[in-house]
Amino acid sequence: MAIGKKLAALLAASALMISAAAPVMAADTANAPLTLEYKDIEQQVLQNNLQVKNNEATIQNIKFNRVTETTQDTTSEMNNMIQTALYSMDSIINNSEASPDVVAVAGSTKLTLSMIGSMYGSMAGAQTTQYNNYSQQLNLTKLQLEQANYQLVNATQSIFATYYQLLYNVSQLEASKSSLEESLKAAKVQLSLGLTTKLNVAETEKNITELKNNIDDLKNQVTAMKGELNKMLGRSADAELTLGKLPSPDLDYVKKINVEDDAKEAVKNSYTIRYKEKELEYLKAHGSGDFRVDNNDRKMKKNEIDSETESVKTSLKKQYNTIVKQQNTLSVEQQKLKAEQTKLTQTQKKYDLGRASGLELKSQKNAVATQQAVVDSATATLFWNIESYKAIVGGLPASN
């Protein structure tokens, strides 16, 4: 029992969450200007994330049996840190002007971060006292921390995608603002001719002001995303960071998807199932001495494994259906874009012949820009849907 309490305290103290204050590192190197490519995120997080480093230190301390009596339980402090880290995602989710695609990816990121927090809380506050053998506990803890590390990678990748979703949302709103500004110019001319009212002009001006405020809010959230990415990489939130392009959706991968085969792989790789299987092994090897109790414990653990197996299969199927649905959505939005581009070509010809006004031409250009932003956002969502499917196959729990 004493060993279990000491281990739990050690895990709690070493679990400094991703939203903690600026990292204590050599500023000359760690905070140097960085261009981050999506393909490099995994390596960067596993090498530089402070929580990952603490996880490595935790494993080493367990190996060394170096658990001190003065270690303090900081579970409540960690919970506060998690809430701070989730604030940026909540800001996006609660923004009425954020597109559904942005909200969806932000929601996925929030859930991933919440799962990480729950995992550390579980390790800190509910470490099993049933297995206080260090070799057994080491195997279980290593598996939990490996999962935590890759969930941190997944969360960072999700924030990267969210950053671009926000940029596309800003582009969409700026195109809408441009259209409103053109409408305002026309309304003022109409007002001077007595063809409209001051109230209509004032209403348009109010809409433009509100749109500007929403754009500024989204731009602030874009900056916040960079800060979150920096912290995930073990850097100061305000360190200079440039993001590479968001990759295109891996459509070749989608064409080759076999859900049944992938489900088998996902079950095999599932961290949750692997952890429960180890628990079952230990239950079989270390009974309480009461056959009836031990038999029931093993049956319950086997039921947990079976239940989680079905959950993994269901999650993967659901994620595949999400991919298919998003592909259809993207196809529709692309068709709308082609239609707007065709209208623009026609409007340009009419303008050249003097049969369309400059206002009509600008309005159609803005319509194309708006729809292009919608297509870009839908494309980014499809990209992340596919990445989420890959993550489940790789063993991580579903984040939607």
Please say whether the dihedral angle defined by the alpha carbons of residues 363, 365, 371 and 373, taken in this order, is positive or negative.
negative
pLDDT given for residue 169 in this prediction: 93
pLDDT of residue 103: 79
Q: Where are the alpha helices (DSSP H) in the chain?
A: 2-14, 27-30, 41-48, 50-64, 75-93, 100-125, 134-192, 198-232, 251-255, 259-269, 271-285, 291-352, 358-393
- Which pLDDT value is given to residue 322? 97
User: How far is C-alpha 207 from the geometric centre of its chain's CA atoms?
Assistant: 31
Distance CA 260, CA 262 (A): 5
What type of residue sits at position 84?
Answer: T
Cα–Cα distance, 322 to 386 (Å, whole number)? 9
Q: Nearest Cα to 6, choosing from 87, 78, 66, 82? A: 66
Given a cut of 50, the residues of the chain with pLDDT beneath it are 1-27, 66-78, 81, 125-132
Q: What's the pLDDT at 84?
A: 56
Which pair of tokens denotes residue 310? 């079905």
Strand (E) or helix (H) holding 241:
strand 241-243
pLDDT value at residue 95 = 76
* Residues near 117 by beta carbon (within 8 Å), at least 6 away in sequence: 17, 78, 79, 82
Q: How far apart are CA 352 and CA 357, in angstroms?
A: 10
d(CA 329, CA 333): 6
Q: Which of 333, 280, 272, 260 is nearest to 130 (CA)?
A: 280
- What is the chain's length? 400
Q: Left (φ > 0), alpha (ψ -120 to 50) or beta: where does 211 sit?
A: alpha
242 bridge partner residues: 35
Residue 123: the pLDDT is: 57
Q: Looking at residue 65, what is its pLDDT?
A: 63
CA distance 163 to 225: 6
Amino acid letter, residue 224: A
CB 91 within 8 A of CB 162: no
The count of other CB atoms within 10 Å of the CB of residue 242 is: 10
Whole-prediction pTM:
0.83
- The pLDDT value given to residue 221: 92
Structure tokens at 40: 């490099």
pLDDT (0 to 100) of residue 27: 47
pLDDT of residue 68: 40
Spell out the residues 6+ positions from residue 227 whose beta carbon is closer than 8 angstroms to its own: 88, 237, 238
CB 207 within 8 A of CB 215: no
